[in-house]
Amino acid sequence: MPSDQSLPNIVILTGAGISAESGLKTFRDNDGLWENHRLEEVATPEAFEQNPSLVYRFYNARRAQLQQDDVNPNAAHEALAKLEKAFGSNLMLVTQNVDDLHERGGSQSVYHMHGKLLSARCAITQKTFDWSDSFDHTTKCPCCNRVTLRPDIVWFGEMPMYMEEIYDALSKADVFIAIGTSGNVYPAAGFVQIAKESGAHTIEANLEPGVTNALFDESLTGPASHIVPQWVDQLMSKYAL
């Protein structure tokens, strides 16, 4: 669908903070440890090579948490889905989150730059498969019939997904908003700079200022479930949508 010239191009980046009120832990607000392992120790290709069962355990625990009955999209996820309906292809939603709460909140197009918890990927062909609870570090890949399956997650040291599409959208952005991300992990933390250089108005929406706060034109401070619906309503009324 071609973009509508009368509407601004919006790029939205979300991080763990948008899912915090849905009951999912953020990375850096707690102690950043899992069973006494630093996150970086269980989320690397080296960790998977050396101790695949530990890495499977880590992601199984996160998947189990995501599938609990009380983990549901919140008002921020839902507001972004409403914005997508109104802005269509003028809007790109990029998330660093590997949960599926944007989709469950109604968003149709979500760029999961760090991968997805609910899929597995063949390390050889890069084909992805719906996650099955029967998968473990001994499971053979359905396409290769070899033990090449891995979580469909971008680990530390790996290249995030969809970078070409994201940089292209940032170069055309009129509005860039980063929601619930601390600004510690690149390349996502650098998107604000690229958007600014493209002339976009940049907004940080967070519980507290993140480490790149000084780069943003505007800050919205508070819980995502309050500030995101407010921002969405203001933007929609500005364009009479």
Positions in the binding site for ligand APR (CB under 6 A): 15-17, 20-21, 26-29, 39, 96, 114, 180-182, 184-185, 206-208, 210, 223-224
Tokens matching residue 24: 């999912």
Partners of residue 128 on adjacent β-strands:
121
Residue number, 58 or 90, with CB nearest to ligand APR: 58
Neighbouring C-beta atoms of residue 132, cutoff 10 Å? 11
Residue number, 9 or 181, with CB nearest to ligand APR: 181
CA distance 134 to 125: 21
CA distance 35 to 207: 27
Residue number, 9 or 96, with CB nearest to ligand APR: 96
Residue number, 120 or 228, with CB nearest to ligand APR: 228
Please, what is the minimum distance in Å from the beta carbon of residue 88 to ligand APR?
A: 26
Alpha-carbon Rg for the chain in angstroms: 18
Please, what is the minimum distance in Å from the beta carbon of residue 9 to ligand APR?
A: 23
Residue number, 81 or 188, with CB nearest to ligand APR: 188
Element spanning 11, H or E: strand 10-14
Q: Which residues are catalytic?
A: 114
Asked whether the beta carbons of 89 and 116 are under 8 A apart, the reply is no
Please, what is the minimum distance in Å from the beta carbon of residue 158 to ligand APR?
A: 10
Q: Return the SS3 of 137.
A: coil
Please, what is the minimum distance in Å from the beta carbon of residue 183 to ligand APR?
A: 7
Q: Which long-range contacts (CB under 8 A, 24 or more apart) does 68-71 make?
A: 68/23, 70/23, 71/22, 71/23, 71/24, 71/101
Please, what is the minimum distance in Å from the beta carbon of residue 230 to ligand APR?
A: 13
Q: Give the residue nearest to ligand APR (CB).
A: 17
Strands 37-38 and 115-122: unpaired
CA distance 82 to 101: 14
